[in-house]
A and B are shown apart, each in its own frame.
Chain A
Amino acid sequence: MLLFSWLLFAAGSLIFVGAACASWEWIRSPRANRLSPPRASSALLYLFNQGFLAPAIAIALAALGGLLHPDRSQTWQLWQLLCAFVAFEAVSYGIHRLLHRIPWLFRMHRVHHASRELGWLDAFHQHPLEFLLFQLFGNLPAVLLFGRAGAISLWLNVGLRLWTAWLHARAPIPLGPLEYVFTSPRMHHRHHAGGARHGSTETANYGGLLSGCDWLFGTARRT
């Protein structure tokens, strides 16, 4: 039953995010949308990662959180959720840079950069080991600090997924001055354009949703 709930969560959020991003692509770039449909393998990778790996990671993290903080309430407060999000983004930035820098890690990350023409579903075209790295280490700081997350983190997760898919969607737009805080679709497309080869000096914009680490470490490019 628990596995069914997780699979339903994975499939439901894929349909929701897909419909939202397909609408975006349909409105903004209808001709390109007709030319090349999204790859089915991305959807399969998504369902495997989110439907099977994510619950396994969640069980491990919940067990660890419960062990470290047995007396804590199971539902995070809003400020804890925000801290968890910022910590996740900071750790993800570090992992992402390592994935591009270390050759054997880049062989894994190349799967995500394989698409010639980027679309929303390519956001989820991730090697399972890479997914494990991001989810396990990205969520670890918050679990160590605050213990178990509540269901509220799942709502945040859907929001993050929606943003991530939009970053990869066709018709990428800039976000103006907001790009000093958030990674815009155009910034992320710039990352994919420059980061397809290992060690490329053109690689920039490693941030997932927040661009703060990119500005801090000099890897941000707005054009």
Chain B
Amino acid sequence: MQTPSQETADSILLPQTPRRRRLTVRVWVTLALLALLLLGGIGTAGAIVMLEDSDGSVEGY
């Protein structure tokens, strides 16, 4: 439970204007896309290494 003085302090520190909210969304979406890019890249590279190290019967197209 926040006291009135804390609420005032929060609203001064982080005023959630529509502009700021849009900016926050953009930052989070960008971070999520970057994380996915990294995750997908690691997964793809790992899979190719695993296929390369397999018995040699399947090595791509």
CA distance A158 to B39 in the complex (A): 15
- Chain A residues lying within 8 Å of B30, measured Cβ to Cβ, are 23, 26
What is the interface of chain B, defined by CB distance below 8 A to chain A? Answer: 29-30, 33-34, 36-37, 39-48, 50-52, 54, 56-61
- How many A residues face the partner with a CB closer than 8 A? 42
Interface flags for A1-45 (1: CB within 8 Å of B; 0: not) read 110011011011111111110110010000000000000000000
- Chain B residues lying within 8 Å of A200, measured Cβ to Cβ, are none
- Chain A residues lying within 8 Å of B48, measured Cβ to Cβ, are 9, 151, 154-155
Closest beta carbon of chain A to B54's beta carbon, Å: 6
Docked-complex contact A153 and B50, CB < 8 angstroms: no
Q: Does A74 contact B (CB under 8 A)?
A: yes
Task: Give the interface centre of A16, A26, A54, A148 by most chain B CB atoms within 10 Å.
Answer: A16
Closest beta carbon of chain B to A141's beta carbon, Å: 12
- Chain A residues lying within 8 Å of B51, measured Cβ to Cβ, are 2, 5-6, 9, 151, 154
- Chain A residues lying within 8 Å of B44, measured Cβ to Cβ, are 9, 12-13, 16, 158
- Chain A residues lying within 8 Å of B40, measured Cβ to Cβ, are 12-19
